[in-house]
């Protein structure tokens, strides 16, 4: 579980990064979480697009004491399973719950939309961050949101229209 640990991304596949950059809308604003793996990825794909300041609230789930541990190494398996199987108020020791992550990320997204109305925004973020917005857009449970696959360097495309999100693609790999 990699949440707030500031570890680098593997950006060695420059051909993939170039395809990803070409796939993104021209003139879009690019923003990322403040973690190095998201910042470096955003810088690698931004091209001529304007780069906004990093947004701390786009960080991944804060796993607290579970950070950088494998699923099987967590001593309290009942608590761990509750976090993943019944996401909501359950939080890792020293970490944050799904509802806290969703509130944090949704606030950042609302601020970005308000500051840049009508603009395309490419947000380079993390699996949990993305899934909070997929959940909101699809109106599904957090458990069902966790069932969505989000690969590294994939594109999940959400459009704001008519006061709500429209999902155009999840986990697209250009």
Q: Give residue-wise pLDDT tens across range 74-107.
A: 999 999 999 999 999 999 999 999 999 999 999 9
Structural domains for the chain:
14-58+103-172 (3.40.50.1240)
Overall average pLDDT of the 114-133 stretch? 97
Instruction: Look up tokens 């190095």; give the residue.
Output: 36
What is this structure's pTM? Answer: 0.94
Rounded to the nearest 10 degrees, how much is the dihedral formed by the CA atoms of 159, 165, 166, 171? 70
Q: Give residue-wise pLDDT tens across range 1-19.
A: 899 999 999 999 999 999 9
């Amino acid at each position: 579980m990699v949440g707030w640990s500031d570890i680098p991304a593997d950006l060695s596949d420059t051909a993939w990064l170039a395809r990803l950059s070409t796939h993104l809308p021209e003139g879009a604003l690019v923003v990322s979480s403040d973690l190095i793996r998201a910042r470096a990825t955003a810088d690698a794909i931004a091209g001529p697009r304007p780069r906004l300041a990093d947004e701390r609230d786009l960080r991944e789930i804060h796993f607290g004491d579970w950070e950088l541990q494998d699923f099987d190494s967590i001593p309290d398996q009942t608590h761990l399973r509750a976090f993943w199987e019944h996401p909501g108020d359950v939080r890792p020791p020293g970490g944050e719950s799904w509802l806290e992550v969703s509130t944090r990320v949704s606030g950042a997204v609302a601020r970005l939309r308000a500051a840049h109305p009508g603009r395309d925004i490419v947000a380079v973020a993390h699996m949990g961050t993305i899934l909070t917005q997929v959940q909101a857009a699809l109106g599904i449970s957090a458990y069902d949101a966790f069932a969505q696959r989000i690969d590294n360097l994939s594109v999940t495309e959400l459009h704001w229209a008519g006061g709500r999100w429209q999902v155009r693609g999840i986990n697209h790999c250009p």
